[in-house]
Structure 1
Amino acid sequence: MQIRRLEKHAHIDQVIRCLEQAFQRPYSEPRDRLWLDDESNWQWIWGLEEEGRIVGTYISYEVRVCLRGKAFRGHYLDALTTLPNHRNRGWIKEMMLRDFQDCRENNIPVILLDPFKHAYYRKYGFDTIADCKSLTVPWSLLSDIVPKSEGEDGYSVHFAKLSVDAYAQMAYAETRRRAFENAYYTEMIRPAPYENAVFLDRDLWIAIALDKEKRAQGYLLFTYENRVLRVQNQRFFTLRAFYALKKLILQHRDQVRAIKFDRVPADFPVDRLVHSYWQNGEKIEWTEMSSRMMRVVNIPALLVSLADQDALARCPFGIVDPWLEVPEPYRPGPDKWTMSVATLAQLAAGYRSATHLYRQGMILEPGETEDAPRDRIWETADAPAVVKELERLFPPVTPFQTEKW
Structure 2
Amino acid sequence: MSRRKLHERIKLKNVETQHGEQFNDLLRYVFQVTNRDLQTFGWENREIEKSKLPVLRHADVLGWFDGDKLISQLAVYPFQVNIFGQIYDMGGLTGVGTYPEYANLGLMNKLMLHALSNMRNRKQSISYLYPYSIPYYRRKGWEIISDKISFEVPDTQLPKLKNVPGHVERVDIEHPDIKHIYDQFAKLHHGAMLRNELAWEEYLRWDLDDMTAAIYYNNDDLPMGYLLYWVAEEIFHVKEMVYINEEARIGLWNFISAHFSMITLVKGDIYKDEPLSFILDDGDIKETIAPYYMARIVDVALFIEQYPFQSQEKECQLIFNLHDPMLEWNQGTFTLTVDKAGKGHLKEGGTHPAVIIDIPTLTTMLMGYKRPTYLARIGRMQSDEASIQLLEQLISREHPYFSDYF
Measure the CA separation in 1 of the matches of 2:401 and 2:298.
22
Shift, 1:312, TM fit: 7.9
Shift, 1:32, TM fit: 4.9
Give SS of 1:57's match. strand
Cα offsets for 1:80-136 (capped at 9, x unmatched): 011121112221111111111222233221111001111110001100111221111
Measure the CA separation in 2 of the matches of 1:130 and 1:91.
29
CA contact (8 A) 1:186 1:402 kept: no
- Unaligned residue ranges in structure 1 (runs of 5+): 278-283, 367-383
Measure the CA separation in 2 of the matches of 1:193 and 1:322.
30
Shift, 1:270, TM fit: 3.4
CA spacing shift, 1:304–1:129, aligned 2, 3 Å: same
CA contact (8 A) 1:233 1:403 kept: no
Give SS of 1:289's match. strand
* Equivalent of residue 157 in structure 1, options 163, 168, 180: 168
CA spacing shift, 1:36–1:323, aligned 2, 3 Å: same
Shift, 1:56, TM fit: 1.2
TM-score normalized with structure 2 length: 0.84
Measure the CA separation in 1 of the matches of 2:358 and 2:351.
13
Matches within 5 A, 1:301-320: 301-308=302-309, 314-320=317-323
Q: May I ask how many residue pairs the two structures share in their alignment?
A: 370
- Unaligned residue ranges in structure 2 (runs of 5+): 1-9, 336-347
**What residue in structure 2 maps to residue 294 of structure 1?**
295
Cα offsets for 1:27-79 (capped at 9, x unmatched): 87359556513376255222111122111111112101111111010100010
TM-score normalized with structure 1 length: 0.84
Give SS of 1:245's match. helix
Measure the CA separation in 1 of the matches of 2:360 and 2:278.
34
CA spacing shift, 1:93–1:312, aligned 2, 3 Å: farther
Matches within 5 A, 1:276-355: 276-277=283-284, 284-308=285-309, 314-325=317-328, 326=330, 328-329=334-335, 334-355=352-373
Shift, 1:296, TM fit: 0.8
Structure 1 position 250 matched with structure 2 position 261: no
Give SS of 1:358's match. helix
* Equivalent of residue 52 in structure 1, options 45, 63, 68: 68
**What residue in structure 2 maps to residue 176 of structure 1?**
182
Measure the CA separation in 1 of the matches of 2:136 and 2:193.
23
CA spacing shift, 1:132–1:312, aligned 2, 3 Å: farther
* AA matched with 1:362: R
CA spacing shift, 1:37–1:108, aligned 2, 3 Å: closer
**What residue in structure 2 maps to residue 187 of structure 1?**
192
Matches within 5 A, 1:25-104: 25-26=33-34, 29=43, 32-33=48-49, 35-38=51-54, 41=57, 43-104=59-120
Measure the CA separation in 2 of the matches of 1:194 and 1:322.
29
Measure the CA separation in 1 of the matches of 2:315 and 2:118.
27
Q: Percent identity?
A: 19
Measure the CA separation in 2 of the matches of 1:251 and 1:35.
36
Which stretch shifts more, 43-52 or 235-244?
43-52
Measure the CA separation in 2 of the matches of 1:260 and 1:21.
30
Shift, 1:363, TM fit: 2.0
CA contact (8 A) 1:76 1:112 kept: yes
**RMSD of the alignment, in Å?**
2.5
Which stretch shifts more, 45-54 or 194-203?
194-203
CA spacing shift, 1:295–1:35, aligned 2, 3 Å: farther
